[in-house]
Amino acid sequence: MPIEQKYKTTHWEWIDVTAPTEEDLQFLNERYHINYLLLEDTIDPNHLPKYEEVGDVKFFLARESTDLERRTLNNISDISSKLGIFLLPKLIITTHRAKSKSIHEVCEELKKENPDSISRDHLALKLALRIIKTFDDESRNLLEIMDTIENEIFLKNTNHTNQIRRLYKLKRKSGLNTRILNISGEWISKFKTLALEEVEVMDLLDKQKDVIADFDHVNAQTVNLISMFLALSDQKANQVMKLLAIYSVYFLPITFIAGVYGMNFDNMPELHHKKGYYYTLGLMAVIVIVTFIYMRRKKWQG
């Protein structure tokens, strides 16, 4: 059954809806008088986070980070999933299309506490903190990946096209997560309107700011790594060109000599000399050795 009663106390009741269908939305609309347009927002996979209040219903549409590895990172649904929170008098309703890590963790936490000692608004705050924590976990994961790539680039001296793809993917993820968290500021700030102490709400706001700062750091460092990686690639390409230029210096004079004697004019006495061939080869060897010694002294070797 998609509609499940998670907890019921003397003060509030928690109903959870997983992968709601049109029939489920119709039931919630008729049973709890929730505006149907708000319910429709919960099934739109790409809907942005927001807050709305209609009558006695306070609606928080949040997004939590997911562990799914997507090939494409084009929109926010590739890295996050929706979690709708409806607050009604003595009732809290959560809706989500897939399994929610935040709801699972809050349920496990409630098993260790007495739900009667927690108000409806405190339960909503717990859910909000867990939602932000999923992004905190993702930011730490991206930081670890970034450190690994950095070590591979600078310590292991790798030069693979795959590194650019990994860095690009890292940048896309951090950018999308930052966008979600910035937009989430609207519904997070609305927790000030609930029956909560200011210090509790500030803890949620501070957590949001910390995670945004982490993703901004990841994004900035990734851009720097991409620039450094491209610079190192260019430097290695320059080293190859330098090495080819040095070898061409060795062969340029002896190629010139070979070209001259390859013309086979009759008035070239060296062609009729008994040891002219060996003298010419010796001259070429001397030129190469002298060029090599000169370059070594000038420190022009690659």
Residues 224 and 287 in one domain: no
Which portions of the chain are predicted below pLDDT 50? 1
Q: Choose the final residue of a domain: 234, 257, 278.
A: 234
Residues 130 and 226 in one domain: yes
Residues 158 and 222 in one domain: yes
CA-based torsion, 235, 236, 238, 243: positive or negative: positive
Read off the tokens for 79. 């890295």
Residues 160 and 48 in one domain: yes
Q: Residue 73, SS3?
A: coil
pLDDT given at position 86: 97
Q: What percentage of the chain's residues is helix, strand, coil (to nearest 5)? A: 65, 15, 25
Which DSSP string corresponds to 178-204? HHHHHHTHHHHHGGGGSS--HHHHHHH
Q: Residue 266, SS3?
A: coil
> Residue 100's CB: how many other CB atoms inside 10 A?
24
How many structural domains are present in the chain? 2
Residues 33 and 88 in one domain: yes
Q: What is the pLDDT of residues 164-204, one digit of tens each?
A: 888 888 999 999 999 999 999 999 999 999 999 999 999 99
pTM for the whole thing?
A: 0.78
Residues 186 and 241 in one domain: no
* Residue with the two structure tokens 């420190």: 299
* Residue with the two structure tokens 């000599």: 257
Q: Residue 29 maps to which CATH number?
A: 3.30.460.20
pLDDT given at position 213: 95
Read off the tokens for 103. 């709801």
Residues 122 and 200 in one domain: yes
- Domain span at residue 277 reads 235-298
Q: Are 123 and 93 in contact (CB under 8 A)?
A: no
Which DSSP string corresponds to 164-180? HHHHHHHHHHHHHHHHH
> Residue 77's CB: how many other CB atoms inside 10 A?
17
Residues 137 and 274 in one domain: no
**CA-CA distance, 127 to 27, in Å (whole number)?**
24
Residues 215 and 85 in one domain: yes
Query: How would you class 146 by CB atoms within 10 Å of its CB: exposed for 0-12, middle for 13-18, buried for 19 or more?
Result: buried
